[in-house]
Amino acid sequence: VNLRGLSAEEVVARALAGDRRATGRALSLVEGGGDRADAVTAATFAHTRGAHVIGVTGPPGAGKSTLVARVVAAIAAAGSRPAVLAVDPSSPLTGGAILGDRVRMAEIDATTFIRSVATRGHAGGLALAIPGAVRLLDAAGYDPIVIETVGVGQVEVDVTATADTTLVVVNPGMGDAVQANKAGLLEVADLFAVNKADVDGAADTRRDLELMLDLSHVTGLDREPATNPGRRPPILMTVATTGEGIDDVVAALVDHREMLAEDGRWSARRARRARFELAVRVNAGTDRRLRGLLDDPRGRALVDDVVAGRRDPVSAAHELGDRLAAR
């Protein structure tokens, strides 16, 4: 069957029946955005099964891809059907030319669904695509769904808004824990892996993390204090290249899922995800209309006036906001 000849609804029907190629095609439709992505969402929203969504993030070079490959291999070996969305918040180049991480992924057991998601446009495109991709994989029976991000920054915050559990991967040495803290990663962590734990400085990195966690309750770093006053993310030591510590990570992920269900955060995080998705959708729509206004002759004249210092940006923005509401 040539899947490209099928409607979005037909592709989704096959994906939900377990057709792996159709799942890949449906993900392409989600990534592409627009009406066909919306059609995939319309065909899947009533069929989700409640998969555990796990975000994996950390500084570049921390070994996230290898760790994720090991973790999902262990999960698959235990009888589950994991899926991985590897998010590359970057360039047209990375889609094809730099394959190192993906090559490692190819070693994974064939029951696991792996997909690299490239953001060909801006970060907003990714924020739109991820919830739809997760929904599709969930409806197609994959569980857990691991979202791996390559960098640090807004994309990771967006992924965290989508995930039930966020695993932050750091390395020994070079102040990696400190850098992760600077990038705000510690605030989103439900679980830490100090990867490359066989090299010098691993114990120091662990100590840095413990110290930052000790400080966190005085600095308001706790995200959900009301529902979970005493929660502290476990810190696990791993060597992803050899598989050391991987079973501990898998067990901690399962523990976290159970804890979320017990203390009520499971449904709170689901609501956070839905709220995030709705906000991204609405904001993307208004931003698109705003770009149109900025590109029309009146918008261009307004920009010129601001550049020339003839017009206050505050009042110029108000004028644009009024035009946006009037359409």
Residue written as tokens 């990534």? 31
Neighbouring C-beta atoms of residue 214, cutoff 10 Å: 10
Minimum separation from the CB atom of position 39 to its own copies (A): 9
Say whether 50 sits in a helix, a strand or coil. Answer: coil
Nearer to its own copies, 106 or 326 (CB): 326
Cis ω before 144 (30° cut-off from 0): yes
Least separation in angstroms between residue 322's CB and its own copies is: 10
C-alpha of 208 from chain center: 25
Nearer to its own copies, 18 or 61 (CB): 61
Which residue, 196, 215, 217, is CA-closest to 207?
A: 215
Rg (CA), the chain: 21
**Residue closer to its own copies, measured from CB, 95 or 234:** 95
How far, in Å, CA of 253 to CA of 240, rounded?
A: 16
Partner residues linked to 116 by β-bridges:
86
Fill in the amino acid letter for 276.
Answer: F
Residue 60: CB partners within 8 Å, gap ≥ 6? 150, 151, 152
Task: Report DSSP letters for 80-123, one per residue.
Answer: -B-EEEEEE-S-HHHHHS--HHHHHHTTS-TTSEEEEEE-SS-H
Residue closer to its own copies (CB basis): 100 or 229: 100
Residue 112 C-beta: closest distance to its own copies, Å:
23
Q: Least Å distance between CB 76 and its own copies?
A: 26
Closer CB to its own copies, residue 7 or residue 267?
267
Shortest CB 187 distance to its own copies, Å: 6
- Provide, rounded to whole angstroms, the least separation between the CB of residue 74 and its own copies: 26
**Least Cβ distance, residue 45 to its own copies (angstroms):** 5
Residue 21 or 122: the one with the smaller Cβ distance to its own copies is 122
Nearer to its own copies, 58 or 245 (CB): 58
Minimum distance from CB of 27 to its own copies (Å)?
17
The rounded distance, in Å, linking the Cα atoms of 105 and 69 is: 6
What is the nearest approach in angstroms of its own copies to the Cβ of residue 251? 28
Alpha-helix residue ranges (DSSP H) falling in the chain: 8-16, 20-32, 34-44, 64-77, 92-96, 100-105, 123-139, 154-162, 176-182, 185-188, 202-219, 246-263, 265-295, 297-307, 313-326
Cβ proximity to its own copies, 67 vs 155, nearer residue: 155
| Backbone phi and psi for residue 147, each to the nearest 5 degrees, phi listed first | -110, 115
- State which residue, 28 or 179, has the beta carbon closest to its own copies: 179
